[in-house]
């Protein structure tokens, strides 16, 4: 790349240079993308946040367009340009200050000239600065930064007199009707702790928060919309020129995508396909006919609530984009396969493993070839803009609450959506808190919530939040004939040993599922039952092998003869199987309810199967749960009858179990104001994801193989110092023992 030019994007090996890689053209591309996004979804974004378009439309548009037009001006600095051009003096150095914060410095200097672009409003100009500063949010990006990273140069030069920079300012003047741009000279800043960068940023932060704290709540929501719209415009303005660099009509794709919502009758066709000649249940019709802003369904496994959800969407929101949100990648894939994997249904699957699931489970060969995870997320998000019906993990939607990238990138399409949140009883405290924020702060979006049951404290928190919105929470129960159908009975293992029950069930050609709390417990149980040739299924497999293990378990339980599967918590939701005996380690109440959902799953009122037994194994070590959680589970089990246990029994016993009300979750998106941080959406996990060194040749030969070979593990001493491959720790050959049938373990 020509080091005498100012660039915004780098060229990968073999990629042909095109004009959109230049700084000036990139700014124009993102501006054009912003125009199209605002034209197509601007009012939708405002309405979703309960902001009146007639009041906020012009302000919103001015702020977003100026932010888009200036967002990357800060790339005109020697650190960034040296990095992108791979100059000798910069190739091994970090940026001393990320380009978005350099942009803030630059537009602060240009404020008097730029101010007419936002109606001479200093408050709205502050919104532009906050959006620019936060358009690359990441957990690793401090907002604002406190110091330079190790290894960076102590000084940073702004190339303000460069011809390409002046060209960008000339374009801004024309586009926004501004006066002639002021002449600029190059500026060199001191990046030392006491220099003229970080003390200035601390002062900027204090001033910005003073403005934020005085804003009306509606203006604070407008800030969130401006930030997200800029992120979306940057994604589209970067991706479209890459895939269609010479197509003058490429921006029409944005307009067409956001207009591509479900066609009249399209959602109803899914319902008709599932019903065939059967009449819907009364319970399903009640869900279908609910026109409440938030509909709440409490129904157990096998009640038909998924079909009821599609009936609800088809009846009430037939022309809104539909997001069907599942708690895990496994449940999302199964939901997509069961309802949407039809040639005439314009739907797609979105989660972090969807490409691998398409290739291995669905056999469509639809895996995309992407260089890294971030680009994959961007492409997924652009696909979601043009997909009328989306099956996804809940992270795709609720991720927006904590500035997670999938949610941010998808925002304009989310603002056009109707949403089904399934299995909300499986949410941890942090995720449930994010759901409450989503419901409260995006009140114009239609929502359907579904769960088998919900603890009283959580239901009360949901009811209180909706009361504040003037909405009465009126749960729709599942069909009584199914909810009260006897399914389970308790079995007490002598000396806490379930093996006699297991062996007896297998001798009678039965199906046994043993769900353990940890992988170590899975392996211990498998060794004890090795003569029974158990199928082992847990999280510590390479993803491609985990998928094959999943299929093997499903096939074994669907075939003739006995079957024994010993699994970890991964079996709780996504395994669509019916066991004759469930053995489970003592776990939390929602985990136990999910595990019981795999027992006697096929019984119906018309063809009842006698209650099947479950055995709960007590443990000396509560991990990964707390002792308090397990005490609550014991209390719940004590409230259940010994025999003829039904779904209603499970729900009532849980609702009676003492629990703490969920704490209010702060939203990085809605509460951050001038700062744009990223917070975890779910309760933290202590695991790491690695790539085994022996798999590196496959990844080097075909980078799309990476998703198949990632391996979740618990941390081991020294892993932080391992080399990285596409962001993943590369585990040395001597570190892991791996077997495709049993999984991985650290070598002693």
* Predicted pLDDT at 327: 86
Instruction: Single out the residue of 55, 53, 61 nearest to residue 444, CA to CA.
Output: 53
- Span 266-287, mean pLDDT? 91
CB 508 within 8 Å of CB 668: no
Question: With the CA atoms of 58, 63, 68 and 69 taken in that order, what torsion angle do they form, in degrees rounded to the nearest 10?
Answer: 90
What are the CA-CA distances from residue 717 to residues 542, 686, 714, 743 (Å)? 21, 13, 10, 20
* Predicted pLDDT at 342: 63
* Predicted pLDDT at 347: 64
- Span 61-74, mean pLDDT? 98
Residue-wise pLDDT for 508-523, tens only, equals 999 999 999 999 999 9
What are the CA-CA distances from residue 112 to residues 105, 169, 288, 690, 722 (Å)? 13, 14, 56, 50, 50
Residue whose token pair is 């927006």: 400
* Predicted pLDDT at 367: 29
Ranges of H-type helices in 492-537: 499-507, 519-528
Sign of CA dihedral 95, 96, 99, 100: positive
The C-alpha angle 726, 732, 733, rounded to 5 degrees, equals: 120
Q: Rounded to an integer, what distance in angstroms lies between the CA atom of residue 503 and that of residue 656?
A: 35
Instruction: Single out the residue of 10, 722, 680 nearest to residue 372, CA to CA.
Output: 10
Is the pLDDT score of 338 beyond 70?
no
Residue whose token pair is 């080097």: 700
For domain 260-482, give the fold.
Rossmann fold (3.40.50)
Q: Rounded to an integer, what distance in angstroms lies between the CA atom of residue 689 and that of residue 687?
A: 7
> Residue 346 corresponds to which tokens in the numbers above?
């314009």
- Tell me the backbone φ, ψ of residue 579, rounded to 5 degrees: -95, 155
* Predicted pLDDT at 341: 60
* Predicted pLDDT at 635: 92
* Predicted pLDDT at 15: 66
Q: Rounded to an integer, what distance in angstroms lies between the CA atom of residue 368 and that of residue 631?
A: 46
Q: Rounded to an integer, what distance in angstroms lies between the CA atom of residue 537 and that of residue 557?
A: 13
Q: Rounded to an integer, what distance in angstroms lies between the CA atom of residue 233 and that of residue 224?
A: 14
CB 575 within 8 Å of CB 553: yes
* Predicted pLDDT at 381: 60
Mind giving me the DSSP string for 164-233? HHHHHHHHHHHHHTPPPPPP---EEEE-STTSSSHHHHHHHHHHHHHHHHTS-HHHHHHHHHHHHHHHHH
* Predicted pLDDT at 259: 92
Is the pLDDT score of 371 beyond 50?
no
- Span 224-247, mean pLDDT? 88
- Span 156-175, mean pLDDT? 95
DSSP-derived letter for residue 358 is I
Q: Which of 141-150, 497-506, 578-587 has the lowest mean pLDDT?
A: 141-150
Instruction: Single out the residue of 574, 600, 596, 570 nearest to residue 583, CA to CA.
Output: 596
Residue 688 banded pLDDT, cuts 50, 70, 90: confident
For domain 19-250, give the fold.
Hypothetical protein af1432 (1.10.3210)
Please tell me whether residue 425 adopts helix, strand or coil conformation.
Answer: helix
Question: What is the domain partition of the chain in residue ranges?
Answer: 19-250, 260-482, 485-645, 688-746
CB 301 within 8 Å of CB 243: no
- Span 609-631, mean pLDDT? 91
DSSP-derived letter for residue 621 is -
Q: Which of 307-311, 368-372, 411-415 has the lowest mean pLDDT?
A: 368-372
* Predicted pLDDT at 336: 67
Where is pLDDT greater, at 666 or 543? 666
Q: Which of 66-80, 497-511, 565-579 has the lowest mean pLDDT?
A: 565-579
Bond before 144 cis per omega within 30 degrees:
yes
- Specify which residues 613 forms β-bridges with: 489
* Predicted pLDDT at 343: 57
Is the pLDDT score of 209 beyond 70?
yes
Query: What's the N-to-C CA distance of the chain in angstroms?
Result: 49
pTM of the model: 0.86
Residue-wise pLDDT for 572-618, tens only, equals 876 788 999 999 999 999 899 989 989 998 898 889 999 999 999 99
Is the pLDDT score of 738 beyond 60?
yes
- Span 78-85, mean pLDDT? 87
Residue 485 banded pLDDT, cuts 50, 70, 90: very high
Percent of the chain at pLDDT exceeding 70? 91
The C-alpha angle 264, 268, 269, rounded to 5 degrees, equals: 95
Is the pLDDT score of 121 beyond 50?
yes
* Predicted pLDDT at 385: 86
Q: Tell how far CA 707 is from the center of its chain.
A: 17
Residue 383 banded pLDDT, cuts 50, 70, 90: confident
Instruction: Single out the residue of 532, 530, 540 nearest to residue 510, CA to CA.
Output: 532
Q: Rounded to an integer, what distance in angstroms lies between the CA atom of residue 157 and that of residue 186?
A: 7
Is the pLDDT score of 559 beyond 80?
yes
Q: Rounded to an integer, what distance in angstroms lies between the CA atom of residue 327 and that of residue 334?
A: 12
* Predicted pLDDT at 529: 95
- Tell me the backbone φ, ψ of residue 600, rounded to 5 degrees: 50, 45
Same-fold call for 260-482 versus 485-645: yes
Residue 350 banded pLDDT, cuts 50, 70, 90: low
- The residues, any chain, with a CB within 8 Å of residue 251's CB and separated by 6 or more, are 32, 33, 36, 240
- Span 632-636, mean pLDDT? 92
Q: Rounded to an integer, what distance in angstroms lies between the CA atom of residue 577 and that of residue 557?
A: 6
Angle between helix 53-70 and 163-176 (nearest 10): 160
3-state helix, strand, coil in the chain (%, to 5): 50, 15, 40
Where is pLDDT greater, at 230 or 149? 230
Q: Which of 92-101, 172-181, 499-508, 615-624 has the lowest mean pLDDT?
A: 92-101
Is the pLDDT score of 359 beyond 50?
no
CB 577 within 8 Å of CB 601: yes
Residue-wise pLDDT for 521-551, tens only, equals 999 999 999 999 999 999 899 988 988 898 8
CB 616 within 8 Å of CB 421: no
- Span 84-104, mean pLDDT? 76
Q: Rounded to an integer, what distance in angstroms lies between the CA atom of residue 412 and that of residue 101?
A: 25
Residue 339 banded pLDDT, cuts 50, 70, 90: low
Residue 366 banded pLDDT, cuts 50, 70, 90: very low
Where is pLDDT greater, at 358 or 394? 394
- The residues, any chain, with a CB within 8 Å of residue 61's CB and separated by 6 or more, are 38, 42
Q: Tell how far CA 158 is from the center of its chain.
A: 37
Mind giving me the DSSP string for 218-278? HHHHHHHHHHHHHHHHHHHHHHHHHHSTT-TTTTHHHHHHHH--PPTTHHHHHHHHHHTTP
The CATH architecture of the domain made up of 485-645 is: 3-Layer(aba) Sandwich (3.40)
The mean of the pLDDT values for the chain is 88
- The residues, any chain, with a CB within 8 Å of residue 258's CB and separated by 6 or more, are 37, 40, 41, 385, 386, 412, 413, 416
Percent of the chain at pLDDT exceeding 90? 59
Instruction: Single out the residue of 564, 562, 576, 561 nearest to residue 537, CA to CA.
Output: 564
Q: Rounded to an integer, what distance in angstroms lies between the CA atom of residue 330 and that of residue 256?
A: 31
Please tell me whether residue 13 adopts helix, strand or coil conformation.
Answer: coil
């Amino acid at each position: 790349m020509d080091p005498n030019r100012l660039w915004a994007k780098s060229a990968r090996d073999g990629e042909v240079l095109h004009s959109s890689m230049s700084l000036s053209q990139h700014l124009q591309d993102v501006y054009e993308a912003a125009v199209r996004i605002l034209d197509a979804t601007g009012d939708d974004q405002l309405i979703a946040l309960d902001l009146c378009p007639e009041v906020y439309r012009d302000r919103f548009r001015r702020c977003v367009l100026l932010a888009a037009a200036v967002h990357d001006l800060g790339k005109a600095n020697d650190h960034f340009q040296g990095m992108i051009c791979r100059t000798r003096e910069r190739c091994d150095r970090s940026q001393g200050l990320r380009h978005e914060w350099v942009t803030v410095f630059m537009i602060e200097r240009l404020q008097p000239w730029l101010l007419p672009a936002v109606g001479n409003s200093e408050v709205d100009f502050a919104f532009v600065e906050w959006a620019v500063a936060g358009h690359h949010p990441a957990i690793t990006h401090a907002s604002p930064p406190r110091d330079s990273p190790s290894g960076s140069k102590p000084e940073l030069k702004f190339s303000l007199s460069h011809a390409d920079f002046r060209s960008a300012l000339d374009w801004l003047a024309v586009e926004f009707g501004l006066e002639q741009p002021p002449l600029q000279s190059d500026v060199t800043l001191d990046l030392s702790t006491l220099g003229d960068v970080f003390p200035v940023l601390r002062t900027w932060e204090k001033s910005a928060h003073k403005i934020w704290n005085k804003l009306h709540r509606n203006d604070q929501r407008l800030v969130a919309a401006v930030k997200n719209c800029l992120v979306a415009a940057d994604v589209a303005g970067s991706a479209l020129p890459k895939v269609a660099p010479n197509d003058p009509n490429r921006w029409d794709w944005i307009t067409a995508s956001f207009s591509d919502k479900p066609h009249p009758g399209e959602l109803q066709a899914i319902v008709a396909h599932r019903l065939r000649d059967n009449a819907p249940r009364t319970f399903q019709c009640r869900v279908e006919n609910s026109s409440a802003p938030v509909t709440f369904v409490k129904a157990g496994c096998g009640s038909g609530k998924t079909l009821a959800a599609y009936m609800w969407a088809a009846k009430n929101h037939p022309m809104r984009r539909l997001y069907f949100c599942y708690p895990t990648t496994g449940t999302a894939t199964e939901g997509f396969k069961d309802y949407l994997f039809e040639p005439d249904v314009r739907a797609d699957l979105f989660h972090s493993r969807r490409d691998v699931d398409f290739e291995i489970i669905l056999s469509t060969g639809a895996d995309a070839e992407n260089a890294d995870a971030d680009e994959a997320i961007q492409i997924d998000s652009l696909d979601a803009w043009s997909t009328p019906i989306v099956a996804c993990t809940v992270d795709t939607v609720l991720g927006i609450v904590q500035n997670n990238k999938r949610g941010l990138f998808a925002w304009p399409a989310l603002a056009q959506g109707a949403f089904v949140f399934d299995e909300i009883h499986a949410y941890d405290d942090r995720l449930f808190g994010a759901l409450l924020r989503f419901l409260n702060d995006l009140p114009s979006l239609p929502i359907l919530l579904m769960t088998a049951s919900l603890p009283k404290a959580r239901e009360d928190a949901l009811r209180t939040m909706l009361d504040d919105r003037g909405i009465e929470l009126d749960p729709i129960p599942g069909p009584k004939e199914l909810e009260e159908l006897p399914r389970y009975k308790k079995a007490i293992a002598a000396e806490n040993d379930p093996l006699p029950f297991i062996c007896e069930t297998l001798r009678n050609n039965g199906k046994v599922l043993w769900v353990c709390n940890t992988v170590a417990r899975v392996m211990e149980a498998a060794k004890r039952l090795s003569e029974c040739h158990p199928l082992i299924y847990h999280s510590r497999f390479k993803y491609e092998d985990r998928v094959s293990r999943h299929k093997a378990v499903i096939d074994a339980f669907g075939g003739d003869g006995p079957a024994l599967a010993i699994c970890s918590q991964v079996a709780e939701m996504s395994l669509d199987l019916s066991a004759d005996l469930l053995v489970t380690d003592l776990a939390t109440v929602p985990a136990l309810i999910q595990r019981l959902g795999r027992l006697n799953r096929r019984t119906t009122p018309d063809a009842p199967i006698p209650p099947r037994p479950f055995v709960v194994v007590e443990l000396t070590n509560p991990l990964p749960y707390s002792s308090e959680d397990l005490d609550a589970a014991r209390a719940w089990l004590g409230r259940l009858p010994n025999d003829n246990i039904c779904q209603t029994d499970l729900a009532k016993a849980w609702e009676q179990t003492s629990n703490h009300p969920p704490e209010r979750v702060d939203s990085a998106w809605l509460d951050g104001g001038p700062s744009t941080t990223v917070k975890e959406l779910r309760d933290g996990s202590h695991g790491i994801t690695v790539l085994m060194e022996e798999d590196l040749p496959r990844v080097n030969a075909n980078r799309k193989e990476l998703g198949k070979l990632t391996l979740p593990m618990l941390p081991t001493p020294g892993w932080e110092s391992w080399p990285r491959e596409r962001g993943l720790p590369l585990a040395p050959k001597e570190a892991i023992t791996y077997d495709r049938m049993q999984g991985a373990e650290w070598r002693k």
